Structures are given as C-alpha cells and as structure tokens.
Structure 1
Amino acid sequence: MGRMSALLLSLCTAGHAAAADITVSAAASLNNAFREAAAAYEAAHPGHKVRLNFGASDALVAQIAKGAPVDVFASADQEAMDKAQPHVAQGTRRDFASNRLVVAAPAASKLQWRTLADLGQPGVQRLTTGNPASVPAGRYARSALEKAGQWQALEPKFVFATNVRQALDYIARGEVEAGLVYQTDVASQADKVRAVLAVPTTAPISYPLAVLKDAPNAAGARGFADFIMSPGGQAILARHGFGKP
C-alpha cells in the first residue's frame, strides 16, 4: 500500500470512528500549536475528539481531492487553499495566523551569517527547505531567493524535504549547513536549531483555514474553526510563535 493510500485509509477509519469526531488536516508547521488547540477544544467539549492529520499543504489537498473525509483544512499558504477551494464550504475560508521565514542553522554551527548571499559561502555544502513544487515553505523560500538574485546559484545545493518539519529535522541533525524554515519551527527545536537570518518574503506568510463542503461533521468543524479564531485559540497560536492573521 502506498503512503497516500495508507493516509486515506487512516482518515476514512477516523472519519467513521464516532459522530463527534472532528478530522483536521493541517500544515506540518502547525503540529505543536494544533495539538495544544485540539486538547483545549476537547477539554471544553466533553465527548468530542479532534483527530489531527499533518503534512505538506499540497499533499493534504491531494488527499481531500481523492475523497478523504476531512472536516477542516488549515494551510500554510493561500496557494494551497486556492487549490482546495472547490471542496470548501462557502463563506468558511478565513485567515487565522501569520508566520515568518528564517534561515536556520544547527545550534553548534560556527559559520558566519550576515546576508542571504552567505548561503553560498564555501562552508555551505548542503541547504534545505520544503519542495517548492508542493510545500508552501519551499515556495516562499524560492520566491525570496529569486528576488535576492540567489536562487539560480543556490538551487543545486538544496536537499528538498517533503514538508517543512522534515527540513527542520535535516538541520537539527546537522545533515545540512542551513535551511529556510518558519520561525515557529525553530522555536519547536530551540535546543538544536537557531535562526541566523530573517528572510524577507515577497508576500506575507498567512495561514487560511476552511470547513470542507463534504465535512462528515460540519457542526464540529465549524466549532473547531471558530475556536481557532477565538481569543483562546489565538492565544495558543501566539504561544507557539505565530502572529495574528
């Protein structure tokens, strides 16, 4: 069984587990924040269970398009949500958070970082970010490096990851000299990774969420989405380093 088939089977199983279950497919960078948000929502709604499915935003859209029984989709960029738009319930798409892109390096790195041009210094053999073809962080990274005139020279150094958390792991394990990830990702592994440069992006990094048109639990989906937008949900996101939408 392929990875996509296994994920779809898992989601289908989760979708039929209980009427009160809410299945949320969310961008990998939301992992820590949404786990806390799910626990808080469950505590406030006894008997309800939030089932979380994390991955690259485009991969999640592909699962939804193949019929995965998802209630809420939370993306790391507008492009992925645009792709999901045919499956979105009218009037439910909302921006709920913002983020920043940074160059991150292993905590023990001795390299000097002043500008994006330093990504090309002799000591940098390998770089990482999400695959620009399917991962929002990679799209933001490529656009920023193109604007800085660095992409063409640096592209051969990149080891692309299937999602931004995998890119973070490459950095944390010292398998690359640096990578372009979200500020919130660095905070999740602050003992192993440090941000060394802020990366100006050509467009703001905004996260949209939406209830899906064929949501098995439409009422629960709207409840969870409303919680993420509420002061309590926004406070959880802020604790994990996300900005306001």
Structure 2
Amino acid sequence: MNKWGSKNRPLYRLILCGLVLFSAPKGYATERPTFILAAANSTCNMVRALGEQFSRGRDISMEYICKSSGRLAKGMMGAAIKPDYYVSANRSWMDKVVDRGIIRSSAVSAPWSNRLVVAVPALSGVVLDGLEDLKGEAVASIMIGDPSTAPFGRYAKQALAASNVWGSVRDKITTRKHTTMLANNLAEAPVGAVGILFSTSITASLKTVLVIPESLHQPIRYYAAPVAGSALSDHALAFSQFLKSQEAITLADNRGFITNP
C-alpha cells in the first residue's frame, strides 16, 4: 500500500502545511515597502528627522543612504543604488542624473541653502580675519571636501581661488569624502588645523572662526527630487510636498538650514 494512503493523510497534510509556511518569504504578511532616501551627507541628520515625521501614519518603512552628492549620483547612474528620492548639495550632480533620465527636471526643487565657514577645534587659538590668513604660519593644515565629489569641497576650492590663495595654501590641503568625516577629524586634529565646511556641520567640538563671503563661491543650494520610475512614486511626490509644509520648514530652520521661498 502507498505509504501516503488514507491512514497517513493527516500526517501528509501537516508536513505540506509546514513546507508552505517555511518556504514563504520572511515577514510576507507584515513587511511594509521601504522608501529609500539618498541624501547628501550634510543633510543626513535633518533628512532622517524629516523622514521620521513624514512616515508617521504611512504604511512604509524608511531607509537612508547618506554619502557625498557625487558618490550618490554615481551610484544611481551605475545602478549600484536605487533610491526613491535624491537630495543633492549642488546643482551639478542633480543635473547629471537628470541628463541620464533618472530624475525629471520638472520635479526638482531647491528647498534649502547653507553657508560655508572656516572652523577649528574648540580649544584652538587660531584667529582668522580673512582667507588670506590661511597662508600664515599659524595654520599648519587645511581640511576641505574632495572637490571632485563633495560639493562643500568644490565651494571651498572656489572661495580659495577667488581669494587668490589657492596656489599658496595648496600644500597644506587635505581632503575628506564628506562633511561629517571632516568635522569628526577636525575635532581631533592637532594645533594649527583648520577646516572649511558647511555651517550646519559645526559640532560642540568645533568653533567657527570665519564665515566665508557668499560672493566667493557659487550659491549653496540643495536640490531635491523623486526618482523617476520609483515603485513608491506616490510617496515620493508626497515627500516633495511635505518639504514645503510649515512642519518641515521649522525643522530645517531649527537645524541651521536656510529655507528658500
């Protein structure tokens, strides 16, 4: 007699049910879609706070990829990362992904601005009256972002060049991948170290010694947009609208960003 005869049918059904249960994807019935935000590193803490507010009452979970704007754009263009939303710290990288058809130009907004500053460790005695003072002996090293991928590094290079000091201080310069890394490294740097970074990246371990005039570099604007073809396009469009809300504006203002009209 077949071992799966009538006497063994209850056992057979039990085993079959077990196979179905164990072969089903983990969390199949409870998993929520993940809304992925790719954000310029200088906005990461703020974007996380915005994402937390935005996701309340929505049937989504949030994931954040925080890197320099250029690294994010390159990742998107190479399909290494596939976010639902992108925040860039300058127009150039946003334009590159628009040109590739990854983002629609009509969907791009510029919600915030920032300022560029020179900072030192909190206990440093370095004093600057202008960027020309970076040539002095009191300044031993200058940290900036990598101009090839980090917008704050590109702005720093523009300001130094416009002040006619780039050539004189070039040997003092070292670069960092993103502004958070620079802030952390600068806080632990030896005497004579300075860094050029966004004002919103200043921590309790640092102090600002010079606010760089905006006329010395391109305007610092952040650009935000949904990624075309996102499976969560409704949420992505809703996030763009959320950024215009008073709740989002207040949050950005409280974190030192300048909200654009």
Scaled to the shorter chain, the TM-score interval is 0.7 to 0.9
Aligned to 2:75: 63
Q: Does 2:124 correspond to 1:83?
A: no
Match of 1:54 among 66, 69, 73: 66
Alignment of 1:87-236 (within 5 A): 87-175=102-190, 177-186=193-202, 189=203, 191-201=204-214, 202-236=217-251
Q: Does 2:41 correspond to 1:28?
A: yes
Distance in 2, Cα, partners of 1:218 & 1:69:
13
Could you list the per-position Cα deviations for residues 136-187 of structure 1 after superposition, in whole angstroms to 9, with x for gaps in the alignment?
001100001110001111121111001111111121112561111001001x
Checking the alignment, whether the CA contact within 8 Å between 1:95 and 1:206 is kept in structure 2 is yes
Checking the alignment, whether the CA contact within 8 Å between 2:32 and 2:59 is kept in structure 1 is no
Matched to 1:25, the amino acid is A
Larger RCO of the pair (alpha carbons < 8 Å, separation 6+): 1
Checking the alignment, whether the CA contact within 8 Å between 2:226 and 2:237 is kept in structure 1 is yes
| Shift in Å, 1:216 | 2.6
Aligned to 1:37: 50
Checking the alignment, whether the CA contact within 8 Å between 1:27 and 1:75 is kept in structure 2 is yes
Q: Say which one has the larger Rg.
A: 2
Distance in 2, Cα, partners of 1:71 & 1:210:
9
Instruction: Choose 141-150 or 197-206, whichever is displaced more.
Output: 197-206
Distance in 2, Cα, partners of 1:59 & 1:229:
27
Distance in 2, Cα, partners of 1:52 & 1:107:
30
Question: Which segments of 5 or more consecutive residues in structure 2 lack a partner in the other structure?
Answer: 1-29
Distance in 1, Cα, partners of 2:223 & 2:237:
14
TM-score of the aligned structures, taking structure 1 as reference length: 0.87
Distance in 2, Cα, partners of 1:200 & 1:214:
40
Distance in 1, Cα, partners of 2:110 & 2:72:
18
Distance in 2, Cα, partners of 1:214 & 1:153:
48
Distance in 1, Cα, partners of 2:160 & 2:133:
12
Give the secondary structure class of the aligned counterpart of 2:107. Answer: coil
Distance in 1, Cα, partners of 2:240 & 2:118:
31
Aligned residues: 225
Over aligned residue pairs, what C-alpha RMSD do you find? 1.6
Question: Which segments of 5 or more consecutive residues in structure 1 lack a partner in the other structure?
Answer: 1-16
Distance in 1, Cα, partners of 2:97 & 2:246:
27
- Give the fraction of aligned pairs with identical amino acids, expressed as a percent: 24
Aligned to 1:8: none
Distance in 1, Cα, partners of 2:209 & 2:31:
46
| Shift in Å, 1:28 | 0.4
Distance in 2, Cα, partners of 1:84 & 1:107:
39
Give the secondary structure class of the aligned counterpart of 1:61. Answer: helix
